[in-house]
Amino acid sequence: MENLLLTRIDNRLIHGQVGVTWVNHVGANLVVVANDEVSSDKVQQDLMDMVMPESIQTRYFSIQRTIDIIQKSSAKQLIFLIVRDVHDALALKSGGVPIDKINVGNMHYEEGKEQISSTVSVDEKDKEAFRKLDELGVKLELRRVPTEGQQDILKLI
């Protein structure tokens, strides 16, 4: 599926950095947010749409709906897929979404998590999910913005 340009893990989902910098960098014309909570929350969707250029379409799907329909997308839809956490990414990959590369941008620190970079914190379940994605052949890079050098997240966990 050549039109799935990049998948990003960012617990903020769509925000200014994604809406401007990343969309332009990957050349997307469609941003798909795959998240069960946001897929049914019009207020959150409207807030995220506010930071997107008018020329870029957005879709908000549950994890299962994304699995069911993403491969039916038109070749003209150049997709930037965003998920909130590594577990959603693993569910998509395990469900058949042809993810071959994941950009890890932001996973907030919370109690019980270890900070492995300035913007990414993980616990043992997160580490296990990253290792499983690696076993499934997914390239994993940690990079906040396109101009930053990328790091192999597996070397940090």
What is the rounded average pLDDT for all residues in the chain?
A: 94
Percent of the chain at pLDDT > 70 equals: 100
CB 148 within 8 A of CB 111: no
List the catalytic residues. 15
Q: Give me the CATH number covering residue 30.
A: 3.40.35.10
Q: Are strands 114-115 and 101-106 parallel, antiparallel or unpaired?
A: unpaired
- Could you report the per-residue pLDDT of 103-127, keeping only the tens digit for each? 999 999 999 999 999 899 999 999 9
Q: Which domain holds residue 85?
A: 4-155
CB 146 within 8 A of CB 21: yes
**Predicted local confidence at residue 103, as pLDDT:** 96
Is the model's pLDDT at 19 over the cut of 90? no
Q: Cβ–Cβ contacts within 10 Å for residue 56, how many?
A: 18
**Predicted local confidence at residue 20, as pLDDT:** 81
- Could you report the per-residue pLDDT of 74-97, keeping only the tens digit for each? 999 999 999 999 999 999 999 999
CB 77 within 8 A of CB 30: yes
CB 63 within 8 A of CB 34: yes
> Nearest Cα to 54, choosing from 85, 80, 82, 23?
23
Cα distance between residue 92 and residue 45, in whole Å:
20
The count of domains in the chain is: 1
Q: Once rounded to an integer, what is the mean pLDDT over residues 14-23?
A: 86
**Predicted local confidence at residue 17, as pLDDT:** 79
Residues 6+ away with beta carbon under 8 Å from 43 = none
Q: Once rounded to an integer, what is the mean pLDDT over residues 19-25?
A: 88
State pTM to two decimals: 0.93
